[in-house]
Chain A
Amino acid sequence: MAGKVLEVKDLVVEFRTDRGTVKAVNGVNFDVFKGKTVGIVGESGSGKSVTALAIMGLIPNPPGRIANGKIFFNGKSLVDMPASEMRKIRGNKIAMIFQEPMTSLNPVFTIGNQIEEVIELHQPHLSRSQRTAKAIDMLRLVGIPSPDKRVNEYPHQLSGGMRQRVMIAIALSCEPDVLIADEPTTALDVTIQAQILELMKKLQKELGMGIILITHDLGVVAETCDTVAVMYCGQIVESADVDTLFNHPAHPYTKGLMDSIPSFDSTSGHKKERLQTIEGMVPSLFDLPNGCNFQDRCSKVTDACRGINGDPVLKPSKGEGHYVACYNPLN
């Protein structure tokens, strides 16, 4: 298909712990297209970060490993790729930024050094001065003022928002086809959050890369994503384009997430109602129920959901590109 950059098929990631082997990611499928943003939403522990690390080939082994599934990048399979080849793609064609800008940069090297490092690694033909020039360009691109001075500064001299911009600069230095952003704004102030998201959207337009945006914040999803996948207990329970997901959620979990956002909008009828929550707690991955993982918290649970039919599979729902894994979907 035109513009498809990344394809994740039936991905399963296992971790060996002293309490047994657990599947942090259990059968995940999604595609990433050029110039489009895929949002992966879920609570902590839903497997979203692990999915990202799996794509990057950064699952720590031991104790984790990709147990099953395939990941195709521009047609090439990443899962069984030899490490040396994967290193040529990592940071170069597929780049990642992380949640904690305060600690993600090495404190003893300058900003410039850390940007130049990735340029030197993947574009060795450039001379030292060319690299520095490019680093300064990248800093300018991500909106850092006086980049020629900043290039010689150390991370601790920058604020959280600035550091995250530097991370983006590092990630984009080699013009990747895919950018994975794991909760890039969670650790930042709301105003900075908006700036960073704006920046990412702008850069996406300019560079045409596909973005995987991982977050637990539906507001962020609404603003920046084109398609969304909702994850629960290591599985995708619903995926759709952003409008459909917000207006016609099919999975009770998704609806629960939407409903739990407090709203000041009097027209939506939530004026003086209590905050809605999803009852119960996310089950431990060591102790998943038979059948649908959401059954103990679902308001629309039926007998079909419990037991013999196994985990519900993603099936097409109403509307194009809308899939839901549910025995009793809302539509």
Chain B
Amino acid sequence: MNLYAYIFRRLLYIIPVLLGVCLIIFVLFNLVAPDPAYTLLGKHATIKQIADLHHELGMDKSYFLQYVDTVKTAFTFDFGYSWTSKQNIWEMIKAGAGPSLAVTGPLFVFANIIAISLALLVAFYRGKLIDKFVLILSIAGMSIPSLAIVLFGQYVFAYKLGLFEISGYEFGFPNFVPYVILPILIYIVISFGADTRFYRTVILDEAYQDYVRTARSKGLSELKVMFKHVLKNSMIPILTNIIIQIPGLILGLLFAENFFSIPGLGAMTINAINNSDFPVIKAMTIMSAVGFIIFGVITDVLYTVVDPRMKLK
């Protein structure tokens, strides 16, 4: 099966997956979820008011039609209106995406660069003291709850030491920069452990392969062996791991946006939860799933392009 057939098949597979995702979301939000009538209308709602509400929300349609509606929104991104703010949800998403990306964008870049560099360093010096030190640091980092690190970071560095803004946000570059530095730093610390360990494992997996022994037996220096042979092979799983992080960027960081008052999509989600704002949560779920699916395909296709073993099968 050649490359194009594979890509086509892969794209086709999106459909059943998307339908399945909509099914899960539909089951959650339309079947399992409790009737929102009383939350929206209050305890003394009359039967007529409830019926009107049901009609307005499309809940009096058959389950199948409700499911179809869900699928439609996945394609049109027409999520309706927020129950609390009455705003068009898609507009809300567009407004919130910027601030979220202001934090997650740079975080994505720096966190990965740091983790990959450290992993390379540690793979090169494997077994030595620095390897063990970084490993301990990574495992320790992975064991502290992220909320604690956020709280601690904000408390110590912004509040007590006054090095950074405690909270707030200004739109537009470079205005937002002072507000996002601390959250970015904090999350680099939070994700550093897991990221570094993952990349280290990937790189070491390659480092113990037979072809590395062959490279050494040619007389290549250790440096060359690592950076030419091991790295190129490691790049394949590393890149796929990096690419799959991209759709998540737009969701923003729940804790950070809440504590640092950054008006991104994470904060929007938290508000929606506190206010039982169904449509917003549903919209976020659908949108993130669609993003995930698309980037999943991109990753798979990229894999086939980058790995010569996949080119002709």
Contacts and interface: CB of A to CB of B under 8 A. Distances in A.
A122 B210 contact: no
B16 interface: no
A11 to B, nearest CB: 18
A220 B127 CA distance: 39
Contacts of A105: 211, 214
Interface in B172-221: 209-211, 213-221
Given A105-B211, A107-B233, A121 B219 contact: yes
Interface in B272-313: 307-309, 312
Q: How large is the interface on B (under 10, 10 to 19, 20 to 34, 35 or more residues)?
A: 20 to 34
Main secondary structure of the interface of B (DSSP, over half): helix
A117 B233 CA distance: 17
A107 B211 contact: yes
Interface in A68-83: none
Nearest to B217: A96
A88 interface: yes
A104 B218 contact: no
Interface string B214-237: 111111110000000100110010
B125 to A, nearest CB: 12
Given A62-B127, A98-B210, A100-B210, A107 B217 contact: no
A225 interface: no
A154 interface: yes
Interface of B: 127, 209-211, 213-221, 229, 232-233, 236, 307-309, 312
20 contacts: A56-B217, A58-B217, A87-B221, A90-B216, A90-B217, A91-B218, A91-B219, A98-B217, A100-B210, A103-B209, A104-B210, A106-B214, A106-B215, A107-B211, A107-B307, A108-B233, A117-B220, A118-B218, A154-B309, A157-B312
Q: Sort A-B residue pairs by CB-CB distance and give the 8 closest, nearest first.
A: A91-B219, A91-B218, A90-B219, A103-B210, A106-B211, A118-B218, A154-B308, A87-B219
Given A58-B213, A87-B221, A90-B219, 12 more contacts: A56-B217, A87-B219, A90-B217, A91-B217, A103-B209, A104-B211, A105-B211, A106-B215, A117-B215, A121-B219, A121-B220, A122-B219
